[in-house]
Amino acid sequence: MQVPEQWELGILRKYNREQARDIINELLVEIFNKILAIEGQNLKDKGIKLSMNEVHVLEAISLTDERTMSNVSKRLGITIGSLTTSINTLYQKGYVSRERDLEDRRKVVVGLLPKAEAVLEEHDAFHEEMIDSIFEEMELDKDELLIESLEKLSSYFKK
Amino acid sequence: MQVPEQWELGILRKYNREQARDIINELLVEIFNKILAIEGQNLKDKGIKLSMNEVHVLEAISLTDERTMSNVSKRLGITIGSLTTSINTLYQKGYVSRERDLEDRRKVVVGLLPKAEAVLEEHDAFHEEMIDSIFEEMELDKDELLIESLEKLSSYFKK
DNA sequence: TAAAATAACTTTGAAATTCAAACTATTTGA
DNA sequence: TCAAATAGTTTGAATTTCAAAGTTATTTTA
């Protein structure tokens, strides 16, 4: 016997594919802007005179193993030229070091100065706090399945 | 008795709070930049001469009920002044309309012209495709609990 | 090994994006 | 009515971005 499609959907599944899609869409796109805004406000409150963009450059440097201009720009998804201007001002403001690689003198290796490390610590602490408060509100840490799925989602975008 | 490490991982492995935090952090921050880049590339491929930013302005307009400068800028999280310049170029390029509200002549009401609707349709279709391909890869649509959790996560950031 | 190609980066020129603060026009409230 | 509040625009300045051209160093190839 054939069961009407609506039945199956109604009884067996609360969320349909379209709803799920909307939620993920929203999460991935709209929410992010809010986080950026909150982070920016946090920097201001702490008296840090850097844009979120500049903080992300510092973050990218800290997460990159071989810290050449190419590698960092690749991680950020911007051209090397764009990164050059960014590094110019960060160097000027005393956040990063910058020197030629002695092995391959075409390369420029950037590094984080103490001032930058301090900013990144602030930034990390803020992120941890934010996510912890999400956990608390949602009791997420009990939710094995969610974490597992998020990990899959995360790895999907890495490829 | 000591249990081999693999066993524990295989049978008992739980995500701890720190791991979960890292994954969510990554998802919310690093992944988003990749999506933006993919979307931008898609626009280019389709021959659409707009920046992702401009597309987001159009999107914000379409999602706003009373389409005044204030309301749209609030949704975007930028100042009205910033929106003014954005609307200037979009108006110039023929994507949006712009007229004073007759009821309250301080207000400016913006609207989407056919050219903008076409771009948004492209953009929506692309998003749906992207998320559908995530679903397929992950068999996410079977995962009721995930969707529920994501919804909670989403609503957390709305407040 | 000398010339050509490639790689890594900077510079230049131009356009977007953003904000704060000053300014204009309109409406509201006392 | 007139001061205050609201809604936008303009201005001036800084950031951010890219493409394309230029520089220097290294590698490949003929």
pLDDT of residue B129: 84
The reply to whether B4 falls in a domain is no
Instruction: Mark whether A24 and A57 lie in a shared domain.
Output: no
pLDDT at residue number B11: 37
DSSP code string of B100-127: E-SSSTT-EEEEE-HHHHHHHHHHHHHH
> Residue A114 is part of a domain; what is its CATH number?
1.10.10.10
Tell whether B44 is covered by a domain: yes
Residue B126 CB: number of other CB atoms within 10 A? Answer: 16
Strand nucleotide closest to residue A56 (CA to C1'): D16
Is B20 a domain residue?
yes
Protein-proximal nucleotides of chain C (any atom < 7 Å from a CB): 7-13, 16-22, 25-28
Phi, psi dihedral angles at B97 (to 5 degrees): -100, 170
The rounded average pLDDT for each run of 10 residues, N- to C-terminus, in chain A (159 residues) is 44 57 70 77 83 93 95 94 96 94 96 94 86 72 66 70
DSSP A48-70: ----HHHHHHHHHHHH-SS-BHH
Does A103 share its domain with A150? yes
Whether residue B41 lies within 8 A of chain A, CB to CB, comes out as no
CA torsion angle B46 B51 B52 B54 (round to 10): -120
Q: Are A70 and A15 contained in the same domain? A: no
Mean per-residue pLDDT pooled into runs of 10, chain B (159 residues)? 44 57 71 77 83 92 95 94 96 95 96 94 86 72 66 69
Q: Please check whether residue B74 lies inside any domain of the structure.
A: yes
Residue pointed to by tokens 């950026």: A36
The answer on A112 and A53 residing in a single domain is yes
What's the pLDDT score for residue A140?
Answer: 57
Query: Which residues lie closer than 8 Å to A40 by C-beta, 6 or more apart?
Result: A51, A52
State the DSSP H helix or E strand holding residue B78, giving kind and residue range, or none if neither: none
Confidence at residue A142, expressed as pLDDT on a 0 to 100 scale: 59
Same domain, A38 and A55: no
Among residues A69, A53, A50, the alpha carbon closest in space to that of A61 is found at: A69
Residues A60 and A131 in one domain: yes
Closest alpha carbon to C1' of D17, residue: A82
Tell me whether residue B2 is in a domain.
no
Cα B53 to chain centroid distance, Å, stands at 11
- How many structural domains compose chain A? 2
Which residues face B68 on adjacent strands?
B109
User: Is B5 among the domain residues?
Assistant: no
**Domain span holding position A151:** 49-158
Residues A41 and A54 in one domain: no
For the stretch B16-60, pLDDT in tens is: 667 777 777 777 667 777 777 788 888 888 888 888 899 999 999
Do A37 and A57 fall into the same domain? no
Establish whether the CB of B149 is closer than 7 Å to any nucleic acid atom in strand C. Answer: no
Asked whether residue A14 falls in the same domain as residue A26, the answer is yes
pLDDT 10s digits, A26-53: 776 667 777 777 888 888 888 888 998 9
Whether B147 contacts A19, CB under 8 Å: yes
B9 within domain boundaries: no
pLDDT of residue A9: 39
B149 touching A, CB under 8 A?
yes
Q: Which of B20, B147, B151 sits opposite A140 (nearest CB)?
A: B20
Number of C-beta neighbours around residue A112 at 10 A: 19
